[in-house]
Amino acid sequence: MAGKIQRLDKLISNSFDYSRSQVKELIKKKKVLVNDNIVLTPELKVNPDSDKIVVDGQNLNYAEFVYYMLNKPAGVVSATNDNTCKTVLELIKNPAKSGLFPVGRLDKDTEGLLIITNDGELSHSLLSPKKHVDKTYYVETDAIITDEMADKLEKGVDIGDEKPTLPAKIEIIKVDNSNTNKAYLTITEGRFHQVKRMFKSVGPTVTFLKRISMSKLMLDESLKPGEYRELTDEELCLLKGE
């Protein structure tokens, strides 16, 4: 945690995603400074809050956690590693921290908002079934979404699990006051293929799915599929529901 005395090599490794052996090589080459002094001992104890640390010309700006907003493209899987498919972590180039993981999962063919972080506590808070965090999706189906279907979805539907889904919110995207095959659906759970199964239970098949918000945080629509950036402090507060 911030302010805690740490070994220099471990701190650099975690902060820059270097291996410990790479850190030791940098130190050996006199490319690590602490408070403007060259350091030759990897095990030196430092305080990341008060000590000025420069690694190969880069200032070490210590932060325990990092938070990325990713506009997940279709075709990649929400996993830390996969033997057959490209993962969302492979989209994050030169990450500021090691130990990153996606908060929850989006199906391989689903696009949209996905948080990548190393903050396990936040992930647990957002995914806990007890928290009922809102998640809103833009949905397209192969058939018109009727008001009757919407009523059923809002009350909760049987998707083959032990319990029906919790009540949802749906907004049919109407054209000239007529129903279409497009809608926004907000759910508070995270069951397997939930949105697709919910629509299938009332008739239509989902043909396109994109998550546009989680908690109070909206996807930055300027991010193209596959693009990402770090969250601002304000966005992090929105994600936490503050």
Asked if residue 93 belongs to a domain, the reply is yes
Share of the chain above pLDDT 70, in %: 98
Domain that holds residue 39: 6-59
CA distances from 14 to 45, 96, 99 (A): 15, 8, 9
Residue 95 sits in a domain of what CATH number? 3.30.70.580
Q: Which amino acid is at 1?
A: M
Q: Classify residue 179: in a domain, yes or no.
A: yes
Catalytic residue among 17, 51, 82, 107: 107
pLDDT at 135 over 90: yes
Q: What pLDDT, on a 0 to 100 scale, did the predictor assign at position 2?
A: 45
Q: How confident is the model at residue 71 (pLDDT cuts 50, 70, 90)?
A: very high
Per-residue pLDDT at 195 exceeds 90: yes
Q: Are residues 45 and 33 in the same domain?
A: yes
CATH of the domain at 143: 3.30.70.1560
> What pLDDT is recorded for position 4?
76
Q: What is the pLDDT of residue 166?
A: 97
User: What pLDDT band is residue 201 in, cutting at 50, 70 and 90?
Assistant: very high
Tokens representing residue 103 in the block:
């908060």
**Amino acid letter for position 186:** T
Helix, strand, or coil (residue 121): helix
**76 and 10 within one domain:** no
- State yes or no: pLDDT of 100 exceeds 80: yes
Kindly report the number of other CB atoms within 10 A of residue 15's CB atom.
23
Whether residue 171 is found in the same domain as residue 206: yes
Residue 3: pLDDT over 70: no
Q: Are residues 207 and 223 in the same domain?
A: no
Domain count, the chain: 3
pLDDT surpasses 50 at 1: no
| Mean pLDDT lowest among 35-44, 69-78, 93-102, 209-218 | 93-102
Question: Catalytic annotation on 17?
Answer: no
Query: What pLDDT score does 63 carry?
Result: 75
Question: For the chain, what is the mean pLDDT?
Answer: 93
Strand 206-214 with 111-117, pairing: parallel
Non-local CB neighbours of 72 within 8 Å, separated by 6+ positions: 78, 88, 106, 110, 111, 112, 113, 114, 211, 225, 226
Residue 129 CB-half CA count within 13 A: 4
Cα separation of 48 and 7, whole Å? 10
- For the segment 131-160, the average pLDDT, to the nearest whole number, is 97
